[in-house]
A and B are shown apart, each in its own frame.
Chain A
Amino acid sequence: MEVILSFLTGSLYAAGLYLMMRRSLFKLILGLMLMGHAANLLLFTIGGLKRGAPPFIQEGMSRLTGDFADPLPQALILTAIVIGFGLNAFAVMLIRRVHETTGTDDLDEMRHADGPIR
């Protein structure tokens, strides 16, 4: 399972990077989203994949012993998903406004911020 997820993570990164290299603004945002998913999947995989070992402290014990599924990466992923959700929502709104203002989807035509003034 780890092997499959590793390849999946790699593919997501590759796809994300490929989309980001395109000149289209929309594809840039899609690429950023894929990179975020890849990072989440990486977190999930690296936390260790275990089945049937919930992190419960056994009767009469004071701390966790033996093998158990680590809940922390999942908490991290949940947080990262929530944050990514907010960021992506804003990014989508931004590209829409940029598209309305500049009338183009091509990143190469967005050079005003690098102009001579300011």
Chain B
Amino acid sequence: MNDPSARKEEDIMKASDGAAAAAHAPVAGKARATSLVLSTAATYLLPLLLFLSVYALARGHNLPGGGFIGGIIAASAFSLFAITHDAEAAHRALRLHPRLYIVIGLFLAGGAGLAPMVAGKPFLTALWADAPFLFIQEPNTPLIFDTGVYLVVIGGVMTIFISLMED
């Protein structure tokens, strides 16, 4: 787990790495039930699963996948991380409070619904742009909506999961 190549990973990795080290230190009065293999694997699985979740989210409009599935994958990654480490580490890996994920997600989804109303179309009408943006061929409002759902699912699951773990 002290493999230097791990340091080169993205930001989430760093936070989780440190958390993993902290979790392995003996905790007074509280024996950890999870195995070393699992907790180490979870540290590496987290970014991998997050990448998979974004992939599922991005292909979701015309292929199996989508915001909910992607969100569930991401949330299960964070949950696995939370089980193998602790709630505190999961909080750190999430960066923002889960509630903020819900707020941002709902705002994106609601905004994607509102956008067509500005253009004089009914709520939730899908708008598609022709010009490619970054790696997205046709930026569209359903993708924004899905991203919102993705964030809401992560926030919702993690809120419940962490509060179940904490007390």
User: Do A and B assemble together?
Assistant: yes
0/1 interface trace, chain A 73-108, chain B, CB 8 Å (1 if under)? 000001000100010011011001000100000000
Are A93's CB and B156's CB within 8 A? no
Are B68's CB and A82's CB within 8 A? yes
Are B164's CB and A93's CB within 8 A? yes
Interface membership of B160, Cβ < 8 A: yes
CB-nearest residue of chain A relative to B71? A82
**A side interface size, CB within 8 A:** 9
**B side interface size, CB within 8 A:** 7
0/1 interface trace, chain A 42-83, chain B, CB 8 Å (1 if under)? 000000000000000000000000000000000000100010
Interface membership of B20, Cβ < 8 A: no
Interface membership of B157, Cβ < 8 A: yes
Q: In the complex the two chains form, what is the Cα distance from A89 to B156 in whole Å?
A: 9
Residues of A within 8 A of B163 (CB): 93
Are B157's CB and A89's CB within 8 A? yes
Residues of B within 8 A of A93 (CB): 160, 163-164
Are B160's CB and A90's CB within 8 A? yes
Q: In the complex the two chains form, what is the Cα distance from A93 to B167 in whole Å?
A: 11
CB-nearest residue of chain B relative to A86? B156
Which residues of A are at the interface with B, using a C-beta cutoff of 8 A?
78, 82, 86, 89-90, 92-93, 96, 100
Shortest beta-carbon contacts, A-B, top 4: A89-B160, A82-B68, A93-B160, A93-B164
Which residues of B are at the interface with A, using a C-beta cutoff of 8 A?
68, 156-157, 160, 163-164, 167
